[in-house]
Amino acid sequence: MSDLSFSPIKRVSRLTYDEFVRFYDQPQLPVVITDATSEWPAMKKWSHQWFKEQHGCVEAELSIEKTHTTRATSMTMAQYIDLVLTGRDRGLYLDQLSFDRIPSLVGDVATPYVNPNRRNVMLNLWLGPAGTFISLHKDNHSPFDHMNNIFAQIRGRKQVVLVSPQQDCLMYPKPKEQGAYWHSQVDWEHPDFDRFPLFRDVKCEEAIVQPGELLFIPGNYWHSVRALDQSISVSCWWYVHRIVDVAVTSAKRAHDPSLPNDQITLADVEEFGGIPRVAAALESDDLSTEERHVIFSAMDRGVSAMISKHIENSPRSSRDIHHVLGT
């Protein structure tokens, strides 16, 4: 362990939805919730052996490196679980398997504390041996897509280390040319303070998440996860800001006209941080032209006019909105 400063993540029980929103979601503070999953069928049913027997034919794409952004190999879930159970897995990890691949899993879990007005909730399965590790990273890959994460531990224990976004200036994110730029360059377990001197001042938060516990990881927090045992986990992601939730739903309407035709309003823009912040995010190089189109097209006419005017009059940019959108 390094000489970094660690403090325990707060642990609570019997947390109501209103308490969660008031004390953790709105101020974006992490918390471990100790008694929220006892009624989940997954807590009684799920095991590595159960997944082998019930879903062994599902093709599993596996990763092995610390950023888990590339797939090392693939095999059936039954083949992979055999490797895990016999200690021949070589550190391969079945990470972030969407519940869309096994829809029946949804009935075995709940989505506690998620804003009921959010439609784009993403459930993912994480299954692997002891020792799997993900380096410090953020779940958001652009200025818009900050995602809250309710992380549920079903089997085994995981050590989770968090760093608040207020410490971004100390975190040394990877350069874009290296790929996985939402990860830090620093190995927090063995930090090289000669290369990354500012990291010495980072204040970390830490928890061992036990089976049956939830961890709320606020959007934009850095987090690193290590499995201490053979483990099964579920991540439940949803967007922090309604502006993104509406835009994603709008994009999906092209394939599913039954989805609501909501629009991004001025209230959504203000909740995100105001017109200057939205305009700056639209101009960011982290956003693709297609993503800009989706967000801008989902705005009501008054909002899009104000955003266009701000971009065209911005002293930091000589571009108009057509240039920004590539039109």
Q: Which tens digits make up the pLDDT trace of 153-192?
A: 999 999 999 999 999 999 999 998 888 889 999 999 999 9
Measured N-to-C along each axis, helices 289-297 and 242-252 cross at an angle, to the nearest 10 degrees, of 100
- Residue (of 197, 121, 267) closest to 186 by Cα position: 197
Q: Are 25 and 148 found together in one domain?
A: yes
Cβ atoms of residues 165 and 239 within 8 Å: no
Final residue in a domain of this structure, among 176, 211, 239:
239
Q: Are 45 and 151 found together in one domain?
A: yes
Q: Are 174 and 231 found together in one domain?
A: yes
Q: Are 118 and 170 found together in one domain?
A: yes
- As a whole number, mean pLDDT of residues 24-38 equals 95
- Please tell me what DSSP assigns to residue 301: H
- Residue (of 317, 298, 296) closest to 307 by Cα position: 296
Q: Are 160 and 50 found together in one domain?
A: yes
Give dist(CA 310, CA 97) in Å, integer: 41
Residue 3 has pLDDT above 60, yes or no: yes
Beta bridge partners of 234: 125, 152
Q: Are 161 and 307 found together in one domain?
A: no
Number of domains in the chain: 2
Q: What is the pLDDT of residue 34?
A: 96
- The percent of residues above 90 in pLDDT, for the chain, comes to 76
CATH, residue 189: 2.60.120.650
Determine the structural domain holding residue 135 and report its residue range: 5-239
- The percent of residues above 70 in pLDDT, for the chain, comes to 95
Final residue in a domain of this structure, among 222, 239, 256:
239
Q: Are 127 and 265 found together in one domain?
A: no
- Residue (of 195, 215, 190, 197) closest to 205 by Cα position: 215
69 or 303, higher pLDDT: 303
Q: Are 249 and 201 found together in one domain?
A: no
How deeply is 12 buried, as exposed, middle or buried, from its count of CB atoms within 10 A (0-12, 13-18, 19+)?
middle
Final residue in a domain of this structure, among 239, 256, 282:
239
Q: Are 194 and 267 found together in one domain?
A: no
Q: Which tens digits make up the pLDDT trace of 40-82?
A: 999 999 999 999 999 999 999 999 989 888 899 999 999 999 9
